[in-house]
Structure 1
């Protein structure tokens, strides 16, 4: 996990972060799944110059030349930089980092989940989106989410086989490397294998996440055996944590490619865990079985989609489109904000407009958006500048509303206004659900290389700890991504995001790449459930409109307005004591302490590209106990 050296005074220590040019040797042999005793010494033997044998100190900001990387975890960032220094490109490095994070940050991401990878290809000057979002099994029906005519309680659905979507991560990695990388899975997974076998010291984040999930982890035999100590309690901070089962699974994938995951023993174990959850005998936890089949895994496909884009002032903003709502919501909010001249405004006035734009974007998000292979969403209308001009009038510059906003009518602003005006107004709005209020997980990786390629990659297993079920003998948690489907109170109610076989649930992931004058300017993203959208949006506003340097824009206290029913806005604890809080309160904003988010919103990473050819990599200095940023050639 992350190095636990205090962050104070470490900004100047980045120059000591100099990963060696070659991978440290990996121990020979391998452990069979479940064979915890056959763990080779893969620590690198303390090889001189090996950064994994003697970890460099963590720094949340680094500036220099050539490649750069930022993640939530020191080892993840190291893995990316190491691949770059070996000659790999940004795609190779991003997958290497994700593989390591699957070991050290297993409650946020891993091969049991999915994600969206946004890639800028310098050679072709294009931005593409690789969608490896999880899909609903072929036998899933919306009625399975209702019992006695009412929706299954959210807390019960989370820890169940019914919440598991077909994992897309491994096929996403494989397709990304095959199409855009220079290395194979066998190359980029070597560090992840080593870290899983050699182990790492449990840090505060790992300990706290385990503690928050303690009761359900205790109820699942495989999860209890892996993530809890002999006393069935969280491993203490400083304890050495190893995952030989995951190392063996990674080896199977490294040697056999994606088929080793989607067919054969791993696939069979996944299906068994979903259909017959390994519940501790005598547990009171009701863990419902799912309907995943081997054919669902075998037939899973990624999607390569054109990046979604808009302009904001003199910037070109690129994001991912449906089935993620993130890029659309961020773009719509920016279109709304573009109508204001921010230069003469106070920070309070800028934030007031930011909150108003976010409220309207979330109202539209909730009403119209779903998997594009199932829903003809009015994306062109939502991203029309004319629609933004008309919708902007709903933002009251004098006072904040005390109720949720209604969705607009984007159909009138595109060439095929199919539904009758107002029809979509009957759909459920964009109010925050139970998960939106408490989910601060997922993770984001931002990487660039010396050739100018960029990857902004958000990957996840959804809720903190996913569905809570470790696949027995294979060392990874399954996702609970299908809880991202909308479950209306009435099972017959239509909605663009209701569950259907083969459908991808609507996401909030918002990996973003920004160009200016045709050249890369910024790349960023964040975890945090639906607060991902507001986190990315606020960082852009902080940097572009308020003129904050990227490290300050990312570190600044956050607000999240997601069209809540009572009009209230989640505010980080740090914001509530800021002068701007009083100013917003005077405009009628009801600020709610984001206590259910641990007082924090998001855990972003970013890269800022400068005109002199240098790049600044930035991770969180405090949130989630701080992240890690590095460059190939420190300044």
Structure 2
């Protein structure tokens, strides 16, 4: 077994000092995204163009929609609009125009990278008391079901922004495949049918939800066409009028009327004031690759950059599996601790991003990792569990010119709030649960939060979505996944596998492990470790917790040496599709 020279056993006073540093440095606060070098290696940008395109998404109908738009002369950004809108129709259990998304885009002609923030926002009248039981504990029903659980949707505005600023085709052209499927019908896959059956009791609470998802009083049946005419009309309004087709006019009025009639607190002003935003992505250099990823209000990019900065001081490739996993888990532990304490909406909260993304901060964290021994989360100072969720979606696109789009879209939990606004076909999200509704109490994914992520009118709730690009001299990749809090660790592990030289198919098929500070256990996909590795990790002090397989990763890779694209969808979910055109 080979250890890095930095792995000397530290005196207890040095270990304690490093822990104090991780807290005291937080006083230098700055809310702007930063570029941070985990290594000093220069990262070359791809000079050639692939000459062909690839799309990987969670549903073959959405992949086909993206390829259809590319074949009509659209670019990766037009295709992204088509795929996202189609997923709203065919995969509403995971995403939709009643939710939001985060995207990292790379424009090949000038190397421009941008983060599109189409995250939902809290309505102006948000009241934290609405999410509490009389005894002060979190009210999971109001946080996860019905109109009070829904933030103001961001996806329509985000799609309009991408089409207008980055696309080649009209918005109407890119939305056409989704409109056609909603109007003419499609055959729901097993995942959608099972989601509807599983949420049937809640869907029956609201007439419009039952009418959309339970035709003839029961879930859609295998092989039978399912139509969504109301959503087709809403998509047509967006296609014709852009933002005004959703956030103003008849559709907006229907949304607000439905929400308020069912006990919610939206107003027309909430919708009219919503804006999708362009932000500077976070980038970090690691082993000759540049990772371009999501800034706040995503926590994912900060955590991934922090973990890679920590790991840059170790020679992972020279370690056995148990010690490699030990280092990665300890880096995860520290990044999730900071996630819980500091991160929120950059428009509302000053965050110490200069500190969190600093290689010097990472060095201090690295020195607090003991060789061959777990650090209990209770030993790491901080200011303040459920199964990982799969109810988000991600797709990856590279077009013939080398434009790239990594897009992660969500309505949060299964079928979001289960509340459909009558006359619109719009299934609303339940993203209010992603706020720290009760500071120090976990949300549905077991994540804790602080006042930085407390709900306020117009504020974006923190997200784990981590759409990412990995760009190197020889190979590049577009990567992301759903999975609640596991998104961050899935994308991290996928990036590490890609940098190790693995193919798209190998990356998405890898078994996974996850640690998020609290609960202090390592979630492990069955078969991830052999008996010897499990025994070694247990001896180091880790509690291993077997979980059913999680994630739905969709990856596109580009080998610059052969100019070949490859697309792969997670084999855990057979409805996914990765295709090269």
Whether TM-score is above 0.5 comes out as yes
Shift of 1:170: 0.7
The change in CA–CA distance for 1:145 and 1:228 in structure 2 (over 3 A counts) is same
Local SS of the residue matching 1:504: coil
Match of 1:312 in 2: 286
Residue 85 (structure 1) aligned to one of 71, 74, 98? 71
Shift of 1:618: 1.4
Query: 2:229 matched to 1:244?
Result: yes
Distance 2:240 2:130 in 1: 38
Asked whether the 8 Å contact 1:65–1:631 carries over to 2, the reply is no
Shift of 1:584: 3.0
Match of 2:478 in 1: 523
Distance 1:467 1:240 in 2: 24
Local SS of the residue matching 1:109: coil
Match of 1:157 in 2: 143
Shift of 1:574: 4.2
Match of 1:485 in 2: 435
Shift of 1:471: 1.4
Distance 1:583 1:204 in 2: 39
Distance 2:440 2:232 in 1: 45
Match of 1:625 in 2: 574
The change in CA–CA distance for 1:183 and 1:106 in structure 2 (over 3 A counts) is same
Local SS of the residue matching 2:191: helix
Distance 1:589 1:239 in 2: 48
Match of 1:371 in 2: 345
**Structure 1 residues 425-464: aligned runs within 5 Å:** 425-426=382-383, 428=384, 437-464=387-414
Query: 2:109 matched to 1:116?
Result: no
- Write the deviation string for residues 357-392 of structure 1: whole angstroms up to 9, x where unpaired: 111100000000011111110011001001111101
Asked whether the 8 Å contact 1:118–1:307 carries over to 2, the reply is yes
Local SS of the residue matching 1:539: helix
Match of 1:606 in 2: 555
Match of 1:53 in 2: none
Match of 1:34 in 2: none
Distance 1:576 1:228 in 2: 42
User: How many residue pairs are counted as aligned between the two chains?
Assistant: 524
Query: 2:461 matched to 1:505?
Result: yes
Match of 2:487 in 1: 532
Match of 1:559 in 2: 513
Match of 1:326 in 2: 300
Local SS of the residue matching 2:506: helix
**Structure 1 residues 284-299: aligned runs within 5 Å:** 289-299=263-273
Distance 2:461 2:366 in 1: 29
Shift of 1:577: 6.7
Shift of 1:296: 0.7
When the two structures are superposed, what TM-score results if normalisation uses the length of structure 1?
Answer: 0.79
Shift of 1:555: 0.7
Asked whether the 8 Å contact 2:411–2:431 carries over to 1, the reply is yes
The change in CA–CA distance for 1:378 and 1:631 in structure 2 (over 3 A counts) is same
Match of 1:209 in 2: 195
Local SS of the residue matching 2:53: strand
Local SS of the residue matching 1:514: strand
Local SS of the residue matching 1:87: coil
Residue 198 (structure 1) aligned to one of 173, 184, 187? 184
Shift of 1:573: 3.1
Distance 1:489 1:189 in 2: 40
Shift of 1:583: 4.3
Q: Which runs of 5+ in 1 are unaligned?
A: 1-63, 278-288, 408-424
When the two structures are superposed, what TM-score results if normalisation uses the length of structure 2?
Answer: 0.86
Shift of 1:534: 0.7
- Write the deviation string for residues 122-153 of structure 1: whole angstroms up to 9, x where unpaired: 11112110111111111213343334361442
Local SS of the residue matching 2:549: coil
Shift of 1:588: 3.0
Asked whether the 8 Å contact 1:121–1:127 carries over to 2, the reply is yes
Distance 2:433 2:168 in 1: 36
The change in CA–CA distance for 1:122 and 1:195 in structure 2 (over 3 A counts) is same
| Larger mean Cα displacement after TM superposition, 398-407 or 352-361 | 398-407
Query: 2:218 matched to 1:233?
Result: yes
- Write the deviation string for residues 165-224 of structure 1: whole angstroms up to 9, x where unpaired: 111111111111111111122111111111112222222111221122122112221111
Shift of 1:322: 0.7
Shift of 1:439: 2.1
Distance 2:168 2:555 in 1: 23
Query: 2:171 matched to 1:185?
Result: yes
Query: 2:525 matched to 1:575?
Result: no
Query: 2:364 matched to 1:390?
Result: yes
Shift of 1:523: 1.1
Shift of 1:405: 5.7
Match of 2:259 in 1: 274
| Larger mean Cα displacement after TM superposition, 138-147 or 479-488 | 138-147
Asked whether the 8 Å contact 2:513–2:523 carries over to 1, the reply is yes
Local SS of the residue matching 1:510: coil
- Write the deviation string for residues 438-478 of structure 1: whole angstroms up to 9, x where unpaired: 42211111111111110001111111111110111222210
Local SS of the residue matching 2:395: strand
Distance 1:607 1:583 in 2: 35
Distance 1:574 1:219 in 2: 41
Residue 425 (structure 2) aligned to one of 440, 453, 475? 475
- Say what the alpha-carbon RMSD is for the aligned residues: 2.0
Match of 2:15 in 1: none
Asked whether the 8 Å contact 1:130–1:304 carries over to 2, the reply is yes
Match of 1:42 in 2: none
Local SS of the residue matching 1:483: helix
Shift of 1:65: 5.0
Local SS of the residue matching 2:541: coil
Local SS of the residue matching 2:567: strand
Distance 2:124 2:335 in 1: 32
Asked whether the 8 Å contact 2:388–2:550 carries over to 1, the reply is no
Shift of 1:549: 2.7
Asked whether the 8 Å contact 2:389–2:550 carries over to 1, the reply is no
Asked whether the 8 Å contact 1:405–1:563 carries over to 2, the reply is no
Distance 1:447 1:543 in 2: 16
Shift of 1:607: 1.3
The change in CA–CA distance for 1:101 and 1:255 in structure 2 (over 3 A counts) is same
Match of 2:330 in 1: 356
Shift of 1:582: 4.4
Shift of 1:82: 1.2
